[in-house]
Amino acid sequence: MACERFIPISVCEEKIIITQGDKILDKPLPEIGGKGLFTQELESKLLSGAAHCAVHSLKDLPVEIPSRLTIGCIPARAEVRDALISKNGHAVATLPTNASVGTSSLRRSAQLLSIRPDLRIESLRGNVDTRVRKALEGQYDAIILAGAGLTRLGLDGNITEWLPLDVMLPAPGQGALAVQCKSTDRTTLNLLAALDDEFTRKAVTAERAFLSGLGGGCAVPVAAHAIIHSTVINLTGLVISEDGQRVVKVSGQGADALQLGNELAQEAIARGADKILNSDQVK
């Protein structure tokens, strides 16, 4: 006897929310509150019932989220690397002395200064299209952006150099999306479950556990990247001073994402990461 499978069809309405992080463009992010400026207003819509789910760039979502909310799904990850765009086709190694490099990220600027302390870091704000336009107009000698955003918007043809992971380790969760919803909303959770990618979730959980183990939403440069091989998680974490001169890099492997991330965070602290975090936070 043949039977048909009926799949419920949900009609979705897209709501575009302009956050404070999108509106305040004349100051560097660390000066106006950091990553939470891109997520708080979306979370308020979820908590009030004005929206059923919210899509975030996972690297911008703080490790501590409201108790009534949860990450309903993390789809398969896109590109994790950062990319450099230069009007004159420069790579990091060929940028002239005292060249201006635009970025809104302390993590990127610190790692860049660790290999090119002669460069001049300048604040870069605006959406991805605006940032690329500024680079192509020559307002900066180069800019650095997350490769995932460029590829999703079809702007990766402007990239002059993909930065290797041993040069520029990404932010925890970079390249991944997180879809947030109420933890009690079973209907939305069931729908989102079909989009969840097990390996991506495990990798980013380890990365965010490393960040959390260092103290959560640190305003100092922290990077992490995990790769899954079968049931084994390989995680690398980095804490670096803003000037790029003090670096603590740790790596390890394990099967439990949370445990591995926390253990590597404690190893980094034992090797002096706490001194970097504390000294940069009191500036």
**Residue 149 belongs to domain with CATH number:** 3.40.190.10
What's the pLDDT at 12? 79
Residue 182 β-bridge partners: 69
Angle between helices 198-213 and 257-270 (to 10 degrees): 30
162: which strand partners? 83
Number of separate domains in the chain? 2
The answer to whether the beta carbons of residues 55 and 192 sit under 8 Å apart is no
Tell which of 162, 184, 204 closes a domain: 162
Reported as a single tens digit per residue, the pLDDT across 238-274 is 999 999 999 999 999 999 999 999 999 999 999 999 9
Q: Which residues of the chain have pLDDT under 50?
A: 1-7, 282
**186 shares a domain with 156:** no
How many Cα atoms sit within 13 Å of 182 on the Cβ side?
14
Tokens of residue 136, six digits? 């192509």
> CA-to-CA distance for 255 and 257, rounded, in angstroms?
6
> Which residues are designated catalytic?
60
Is 264 domain-assigned? yes
